Amino acid sequence: MRAIGATLGRIVGRTLRLSVALLAATAVAAVASAGARTLAISPLNGTPDASPQTQISFLGVPASEITHISVVGSSSGGHSGKLRSYASSAGASFLPSVGFAQGERVRVSALAGPRGHTRRVRTSFTVARLSGYRAPATGPPGQARGGTVQSFVSEPSLHPPKIAITASSPVASVGDVFITPTHGLGQSGPMIIDGAGKLIWNLVVPSGEVAADLQVESYRGQPVLVWWQGHIPTTLGVGFGHDEIYNAAYQRVGTVSAGNGYEADLHELQITPQGSAFITAYTLIDTDLSSVGGSRNGALQDSLLQEIDIPTGLVMFEWHAYGHVDLRDSYTHPPSTGQPWDFFHINSISEDSWGDGNFIVSSRNTWAAYEVDHVSGTVMWHLGGKRSSFKMGPGTGTAYQHDVRWQPDHTLTIFDNGAVPKAHSQSRLIHEQIDWKHKSVKLLGRYVRIPGLLTGSQGNDQTLANGNSFVGWGEDPYFTEFATTGQILLDGHFPAPGQSYRAYRFPWSATPAAAPKLAVKTSGAVSMLYMSWNGATGMSSWRVLGGPTPTALAALTAAPAAGFETAVAVPRNADFAVQALGPAGEVLGASAAVRG
């Protein structure tokens, strides 16, 4: 998505060229300690816009091997604090008792390593000067037109958009579709549908908030639903909120919030096998933009990523685009309106498939992806953009791209938006391979939708287990599955002007902790029963119970489950209940008794 900002940051009189030179010269916030361990210290050495609320993160050695910590601000002086261990990896964060002064230089040192084999480690960073920019609040959703949203008698609070499936092949992949409709008609919230477009699960988010990036990941060895939730200011294209983690019973088992005074952005949440999470965030700082044609008192929207220790919420690692990427690499320009300049716009993080711990980040506004060292934060090479480290072969260049992903075979998949402004004739999915010997990039494959779409923001390309690609078209409310041959196997959409940041296809099995819902409408001698179980996937049929009292109910009839809500007509009774049945007739769940 395009541009947003938090209310953080400000660095006066410091150009990016100086910052990049400083980072290149002193990017040694990582050192080798005894036992060949590496230690990453955040804020990284030379960071030009650290948060005044920052913690000092030591990632790579146990807390017991981090001693004699010294934290001194050029204005605020020495800082005392507490050292707290991470739960998911070796390391700890030093939490200063008092925050830092804006614009000051902070020097950190500590002894790291086992007793008898310690060495002095250091980092130094500058604290941001925070911007006073305030973005307008998110506007209300549009009013639903007739026929554009779904309604249910048994779940009257749910009004998700209607889904249309326009192409479906019997050889399409097994799995359900995961979307987060926003900016359109009706409600915003995470939504799961089956391959026929029928609703499986929907959650309504609080008024004024939206959801994004619903997908299935693994946490503590179990499949979980994860998504971002928060608000998106109307003038910007990033989010301020937090990430949710729900189990297969639709119960919250965790949340991920950004640390150091930031809020989590919508663009990425990747849970690691160890139990940490990579997220994106944004910060607004005041800085000198005269070197790129902007104001000396300009406002910059910086992109950053954090690795968060989920159990403790501590920040394990933090990387900023500003100071690592030259402002001149951007294809956008500082606005003259006083709105913060989103020079980079991070929109994906993908760890390397060969397990070295490094990762690639995608930048919409520089048309490039950057391989980042996981210890020092140094940019190791650029893919695309104005200063690519590789010769880009025919068809490999991107514009405003999203979702750059390493694949297990060390190739890359990319959702190439091609707009806005228009740089390509249509958006496409590309598969690329880097030739390390010859420092060149080759196009392995390209998929486009027919008729074509040119989406100016958002979008993703998910590689499925069978090699197919499942694509969300971002601000265009479409999703498509492509075979490896490029054939469209599934194509669907919901009403415009809706959009879904990404779309995915996953196998999903869930039994809700909440009971099934039942609503009864009686007319004369006939009662119409409406039954649903929001999120259930293993249900085959319903058993209807009725009787004179809630404690004297008997089976009246059974009916196959017919989508999200099933309607059954039965003779009038004083009370009713329903049971959700599995394939073998086993009872999976039962509703409360409802008066007829």
Task: State pLDDT tens for residues 574-592.
Answer: 999 999 999 999 999 999 9
Entry field: residues in the chain: 596
Q: CA nearest 2: which of 164, 234, 191?
A: 234
CA–CA gap between residue 488 and residue 476 (Å, rounded)? 17
Instruction: List the CATH number of the domain containing 48.
Output: 2.60.40.3780
Low-confidence ranges of the chain (pLDDT < 70): 1-37, 137-146
Please give the pLDDT value at position 20.
41
Predicted confidence at residue 15, as pLDDT, reads 38
Residue 37 pLDDT: 61
Q: Which of 126, 154, 176 is the last residue of a domain?
A: 126
Predicted pLDDT at 187:
87
Residue 527 in any domain: the answer is yes
Question: Domain ends where: 126, 161, 180?
Answer: 126
Is 304 inside any structural domain? no
316 CB-side CA count, 13 A = 30
Q: What is the structure's pLDDT at 13? A: 36
Residue 537 maps to which CATH number? 2.60.40.10
Task: Give domain status of residue 107, yes or no.
Answer: yes
Distance CA 315, CA 55 (A): 8
Predicted confidence at residue 201, as pLDDT, reads 98
Q: What is the DSSP letter of 249?
A: T
64 domain residue, yes or no: yes
Strand partners, 529: 520, 568
DSSP single-letter state for residue 564: S
Of the candidates 95, 92, 49, the one whose C-alpha atom is nearest the C-alpha of residue 71 is 95
3-state helix, strand, coil in the chain (%, to 5): 5, 45, 50
Which residue has 């995608």 as its token pair? 362
Please give the pLDDT value at position 24: 40
- Given a contact cutoff of 8 angstroms between Cβ atoms, the answer to whether 152 and 158 are in contact is yes
Domain end among 93, 108, 126: 126
Concatenate the DSSP letters of all residues of 284-305 into one string. Answer: EEEE--GGGTS-TTEEEEEEEE
585 to each of 115, 232, 406, 553, how far by Cα in Å?
A: 64, 46, 44, 18
Residue 303: inside a domain, yes or no?
no
Alpha-carbon distance of 44 to 28, in angstroms, equals 8
Range of the domain at 538: 517-595
In a domain, 283, yes or no: no
Instruction: Using alpha carbons, list the distances in angstroms from residue 99 to 75, 260, 331, 412.
Output: 11, 10, 35, 41
- The helix/strand/coil state of 388 is coil
pLDDT, one tens digit per residue, over 139-163 is 555 555 668 999 999 999 999 999 9
* Residues 553, 478 contacting (CB under 8 angstroms): no
- With respect to residue 279, please indicate whether it lies within any of the assigned structural domains: no
Is 165 inside a domain boundary? no
CA-wise closest residue to 47 among 123, 98, 131: 123
**Domain tally for the chain?**
2
Beta bridge partners of 422: none
